[in-house]
């Protein structure tokens, strides 16, 4: 628990958000590994492990809980990085540069690793066209499959970035009522597509607007963290109530029929509900600042991208309950999660951190006043962000 009222230290990242990110990364990795183990080695689960398996596969999808957490935290952080006193081309330039170097270098490193160590199908081969499409990070919108399954969320993140940038360029992002309108539009679109999916029995992309609704809720939730913003706090609580109510019809309509991903409406409902509960409570009432979770949150992007690669590598060298029958499922999972955290730490130090540092140098060079003679910046009082906060 943090003793600091704001949950941050001057010049530092926001610790309680990193803790939530760390928790989200653990949930995603655990859910993926446990689900695969149950399909292939159900006998390796026993006792408490069997109960956890049942909870993850039959009651909620812990991986989806983690993804909802990631989306909500992005919604909280990304708008802050756009409310920095800049406008027009300079704003867009800085945002695109920082986001590009935050996401793409490690993402590109993960692609050849995913090609060499595909998971869960060890013999999977991808076409050159698929690999080329994956380089863009928007392969799903182009009709290509993901080299690593976890990539699907990044495409949704990019859509949210574009929405926020357009709103910022139009002077709308700093207005809570405009954020609320964007939230309502996302919820409405999710309801419409869910209804169409139910009536026409076609797999319309409900996940995209529903994820955008979660992210715009996170965007509105900034007001909950600002005691003086009474109007914004009301809108944030109203948005949370609306989404909580809308989730039931959206999940029932969209996920009553299984379109190939084991959809069950009540699992989607409980998963989204639990993810939102962890986010809202974890940013207000219970701000975790456990050092291991904070560090895991710092490296969470590496963990998220590389956990399937670590799973595949472990199996390739023979460390798996199929090859070692005496190895219990959750003993195996604990070992693999530790290895995943180690791989994430290495990737962060070798790829992420240098990329972030380079993006800072680029943005500092771009911001030099002698490159824009006669330009006067009027910083907005909305946020005071350090470079490390912007990196989140």
Which residue's entry shows tokens 């084991």? Answer: 262
**Mean predicted confidence (pLDDT) in 215-242:** 91
Q: Which of 316, 303, 341 is nearest to 28 (CA)?
A: 303
How many CB atoms within 10 Å of residue 243?
A: 22
More reliable by pLDDT, 183 or 320: 183
Share above pLDDT 70 across residues of the chain, in percent, rounded to a whole number: 87
pLDDT, residue 371, reads 56
CA-to-CA distance for 42 and 58, rounded, in angstroms? Answer: 14
- Res 379 pLDDT > 50: no
Radius of gyration of the chain (CA): 21
What is the percent of the chain where pLDDT is above 90? 68
pTM: 0.89
Query: Under a CB-based contact definition with an 8 Å cutoff, are residues 388 and 338 in contact?
Result: no
What would the pLDDT profile of 63-113 be if each residue is shown by its tens digit?
999 999 999 999 999 998 888 777 788 899 999 999 999 999 999 999 999
pLDDT at 350 over 70: yes
Tokens (6 digits) for 108: 């590109």
- Say whether pLDDT at 56 is over 90: no
- What is the pLDDT confidence band of residue 369, given thresholds at 50, 70 and 90? low
- If you average pLDDT over residues 38-52, what whole number do you get? 70
pLDDT at 328 over 60: yes
Q: What pLDDT does residue 38 have?
A: 82
DSSP 14: B
**Residue with structure tokens 């050159």?**
128
Assess contact for 356 and 101: CB atoms under 8 A: yes
Which of 30-39, 211-220, 261-270, 283-292 is most confident? 211-220
CA dist 49 and 65 (Å) reads: 19
């Amino acid at each position: 628990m943090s003793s600091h009222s704001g949950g941050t230290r001057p010049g530092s990242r926001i610790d309680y958000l990193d803790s939530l990110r760390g928790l989200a990364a653990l949930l995603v990795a655990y859910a993926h590994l446990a689900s695969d183990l149950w399909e292939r080695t159900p006998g390796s689960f026993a006792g408490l492990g069997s109960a956890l398996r049942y909870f993850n596969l039959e009651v909620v999808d812990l991986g989806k809980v983690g993804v909802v957490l990631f989306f909500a935290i992005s919604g909280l952080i990304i708008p802050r990085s756009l409310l920095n006193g800049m406008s027009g081309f300079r704003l867009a330039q800085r945002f695109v540069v920082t986001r590009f170097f935050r996401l793409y270098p490690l993402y590109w490193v993960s692609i050849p690793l995913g090609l060499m160590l595909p998971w869960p199908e060890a013999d999977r081969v991808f076409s050159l066209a698929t690999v080329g499409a994956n380089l863009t990070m928007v392969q799903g919108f182009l009709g290509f499959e993901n080299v690593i399954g976890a990539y699907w969320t990044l495409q949704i993140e990019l859509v949210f970035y574009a929405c926020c940038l357009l709103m910022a360029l139009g002077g709308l992002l700093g207005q809570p009522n405009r954020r609320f309108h964007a939230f309502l539009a996302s919820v409405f679109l999710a309801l419409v597509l869910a209804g169409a999916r139910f009536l026409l029995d076609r797999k319309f992309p409900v996940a995209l607007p529903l994820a955008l609704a979660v992210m715009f809720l996170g965007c509105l939730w900034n007001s909950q963290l600002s005691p003086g913003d009474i109007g914004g706090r009301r809108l944030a609580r109203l948005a949370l109530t609306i989404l909580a109510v809308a989730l039931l019809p959206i999940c029932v309509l969209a996920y009553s029929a299984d379109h190939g991903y084991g959809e069950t409406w009540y699992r989607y409902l409980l998963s989204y509900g639990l993810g939102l509960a962890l986010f809202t409570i974890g940013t207000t009432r219970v701000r975790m600042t456990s050092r291991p979770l904070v560090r895991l949150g710092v490296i969470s992007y590496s963990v998220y991208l590389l956990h399937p690669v670590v799973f595949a590598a472990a199996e390739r060298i023979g460390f798996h309950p199929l090859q070692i029958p005496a190895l219990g499922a959750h003993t195996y999972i604990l070992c693999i999660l530790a290895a995943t955290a180690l791989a994430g730490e290495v990737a962060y130090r070798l790829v992420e951190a240098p990329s972030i540092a380079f993006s800072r140098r680029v943005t500092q060079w771009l911001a030099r006043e002698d490159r824009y003679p006669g330009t006067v910046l009027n910083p907005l009082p909305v946020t005071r962000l350090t470079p490390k906060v912007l990196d989140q």
